[in-house]
Amino acid sequence: MALISIRNLSIHYYTLSGIVHAVDNVSFDILEGEWISIVGESGSGKSTLAYSIIGLVPPPGRIVTGEILFNGRNLVKLSREEMRRIRGKDIGMVFQDPMTSLDPLRRVGDQIAEVFIEHGVLSSWKEARERARELLKKVGLPGDRASYYPHQLSGGQRQRIAIAIAMALKPKLLIADEPTTALDVIVQDTIMDLMEGFKKQGTSILFITHDLALAAEHSDRIAVMYAGKLVELGSVDQVIDNPLHPYTIALIKSVPDLWGEKKIKSIPGYLPDLRNPPRGCRFHPRCPFARDICRREEPEIIEVEKGHIASCHLLKKR
């Protein structure tokens, strides 16, 4: 069952130098209890998409078309206040740098406890602080860390605090935007394990990363974004073993161990300027298989095998 349905979502940034087409006509579902990862190079629109789900697309960004359906409501239409209530309670989010969401001047225990007070779950600070200490243990930190300030903790510990805050009210969805990118590999693994634990308890995870290997290791499904477009979506096996879109194939070849290739083949060229994206298929300037139609017409998303979709003109020939 779909927990969240994103339909024809387009998001623009209205900058002084032009309109950035950051997310363009993206549709997909986040299923109940699944781990879905969005992968793609930096600048492909992953964070913008994630922010839109919690109503936090930063100015000068705006959702221009589309719907985000959750519990029978279209989140795009909600007021700031209604969205605030959903954020934290039904949908939690963690960011690459936990310092952006933590208050440097307050003890972390109080910052966790505040979630219970703010959402009216508890009225007594004493109880809320107790719950905060329990939560600390749940994310693998000793209870006494409650009295620490963010700067007294390591990057990995701070990310655990951010996860504790995001998970305090047991949201149905945890959005994690590059949560381990700033951490070393060993700490990264422990954070991934922590999220796996929440998934086992039924939380859906929307994991955003530029690291395809990491996504392949942890997800049920993988969505590939390129230049604001969803270009492919399928189960991990479908996407990794039988990639359909030339961009996905190039991404896989750029990861050394995924296909057992020793040499990394980086993708030639650059992500296009999203103020003026290429006509036709946005990937055509970098695509080794591009033909005339790719320069002229935008490819539709087609379902090539059950649950495995991609948008590429070449797929029609199969």
Among residues 28, 35, 93, 18, which one has the least CA distance to residue 66? Answer: 28
Interface of this chain with ligand ADP, residues 104 to 143, rule: CB under 6 A: none
Beta-carbon count within 10 A of 305 CB: 11
Strand partners, 235: 221
272 counts as binding ligand ADP under rule CB under 6 A: no
Q: Does 58 bind ligand ADP (CB under 6 A)?
A: yes
Q: Is 43 one of the binding residues for ligand ADP (CB under 6 A)?
A: yes
52 binds Mg ion (CB under 5 A): no
Q: Of 46-54, 251-259, 298-306, 308-316, which part binds Mg ion (CB under 5 A)?
A: 46-54
Report the DSSP beta bridge partners of residue 223.
38, 233
Smallest distance, Mg ion to C-beta of residue 47, A: 3
Name which of 39 and 113 has its Cβ closer to Mg ion.
39
Question: What CA–CA distance (Å, rounded) separates 94 from 144?
Answer: 22
Q: By CB under 6 A, which span of 54-62, 64-72, 279-287, 298-306 interacts with ligand ADP?
A: 54-62
| Inter-axis angle of helices 155-167 and 125-138, nearest 10 | 120
Task: Single out the residue of 37, 48, 209, 219 in contact with ligand ADP (rule: CB under 6 A).
Answer: 48
Q: Does 20 bind ligand ADP (CB under 6 A)?
A: yes
22 near ligand ADP, judged by CB under 6 A: yes
Q: 178, 166 in Cβ contact below 8 A?
A: no
Residue 47, interface with ligand ADP (CB under 6 A)?
yes
Candidate residues 37, 44, 188, 204; the one interacting with ligand ADP per rule CB under 6 A: 44
47 is a site residue for Mg ion (CB under 5 A) = yes
List the single partner that 9 binds among Mg ion, ligand ADP, none, CB under 5 to 8 Å by kind: none
Residue numbers at the binding site for ligand ADP (CB under 6 A)? 13, 15, 20, 22, 40, 42-48, 58, 60-61, 274
